A and B are shown apart, each in its own frame.
Chain A
């Protein structure tokens, strides 16, 4: 915690200044969190007409439901692929774009604009590109391997399509932060390594990558959040969780249980599980960022 110079004397004014923010956070974030925990212990009949306290029954039935376990598995596969694949590709792109060559700023803009894209727009374009018959990506594939692939009908291909589209959509965001990280690096260290005669590959792993680790940790968390929640719009537009639930991630399953099947209690229990996952991740980040991560300077 930093110590600030306190400059103004009023005892009331700071609370007046803070009150709008605090009021909204309490009413629209803290209170719903508490209400979600309470709801998760009830069985709620259609439209909330009948509520019955059932303790942990919702959680037990989720743990025993093969469908929900499959949902956890799908979420893990998509998250791991999007986070690892996305960060590796973005770092490689950022390393290229960080070189001071002619036109570097033009390349940078062309590489980071996908930041502005929404998952829904990305989804709709990918859905069209990979449609059988007239999708250009599918046609390319046909020319290369000699047959059309059923991207939307085959469970494995559908999950691959979601992963590719999700990585593509988030590239801009990741490249922005990696570029900022690279530009903040201490160039002396890099030059020293170069003078030592370290090869580019070794220089990257022994100098650049460790120095970038705070940024990587930050991006790890934001990318996990993105894979958990952000890609909802893409899944809703491209696959609707199908085929055969192969892309039915946790947030999509929650949405369906809550707003298509009106199982409010069960959906609230899924919210609690997601909330605990987010807290666990944040804790890991706080703990590791103190010890393992190298903060330059």
Chain B
């Protein structure tokens, strides 16, 4: 065996072991999500599929209202992702294709908000949103997240990498800025749009602290906080059902990720400073 083949073989072995370790917790959750309470508590622990697959998923979906939570989370995540991507794109258009006073300062003003994660604002944001009368409502989960420094940054970066001949051609055709955005910029920006949409969808789907604080009514709660409710009272917890809940909660972002991961890597490869 040549040195190269040996090295490749070693790489395969190391990667397979790594993949198994990385996957193990999820495989464990999948196996357990099919087991009855008795099967879960068997000693030593069984990692084979059990007999309660449908029961567990049905219980998680209905009795623990995970179905309702997932509908809520989907609605919020999609609303924020679509609006945020659109608003970031408009801001990017303004910052790259127009000349106006204070442009650089406005860009820094937007960029500076990268240092303000929601987590550190929750005390004041809670007061503000309650004063607006939005406590316990969807606007509280949607409106504060509609603007994005990351989005503006990515679009600005991407737009400035587009050759200026394109713009000249568009202008020669007499296209206005919005027409230009729609028929030239958007078709050239799918990687950036895909990357941003992926980040935002996963970010919104995985939100935890803010909904935990601001939503009091169970019927409006989101999926991550819904999972929290399933483990309350550890001794009585039916872990098969909880694992079914965990699997359900991780499924949508996983699917989106697998669909969009190429755009994600490309969108960032382009956005990177080189």
| Interface positions of A (Cβ within 8 A of B) | 1-2, 4-8, 10-11, 13-15, 17-18, 20-25, 27-33, 35-36, 39, 48, 93, 96-97, 99, 101-103, 107, 109-122, 124-129, 131, 133-136, 139, 168, 171, 176-177, 179-181, 183-184, 214, 225, 228-229, 232-233, 236-237, 251, 254-255, 258-259, 264, 267-268, 271, 274-275, 278-279, 282, 295-297
Contact = CB atoms under 8 A, between A and B. Distances in A.
Contacts of B93: 17
Interface residues of B, number: 101
A99 B96 CA distance: 38
A276 B87 CA distance: 29
Contacts of A114: 22
Provide the main secondary structure of the chain A interface: helix
B76 to A, nearest CB: 14
Nearest to B20: A110
A177 B245 CA distance: 30
Interface of B: 8, 11-12, 14-15, 18-19, 22-23, 25-26, 28-29, 32, 40-45, 47, 87-88, 90-91, 93-100, 103-104, 106, 109-110, 113-117, 119-128, 143-144, 146-149, 152, 160, 164, 167, 171, 176-177, 180, 202, 205-206, 208-209, 212-213, 224-225, 227-228, 230-231, 234, 239, 242-243, 245-246, 249-250, 253-254, 256-258, 261, 264-265, 268-269, 272-274
Provide the main secondary structure of the chain B interface: helix
Contact of A129 (B25, B110, B121, B213): B25
Given A5-B164, A120-B227, A176-B264, A125 B25 contact: yes
Contact of A264 (B100, B110, B123, B227): B123
B147 A278 contact: no
B26 A125 contact: yes
Nearest to B243: A128
A115 B120 CA distance: 23
Contact of A21 (B152, B245, B257, B265): B152
A176 B127 contact: no
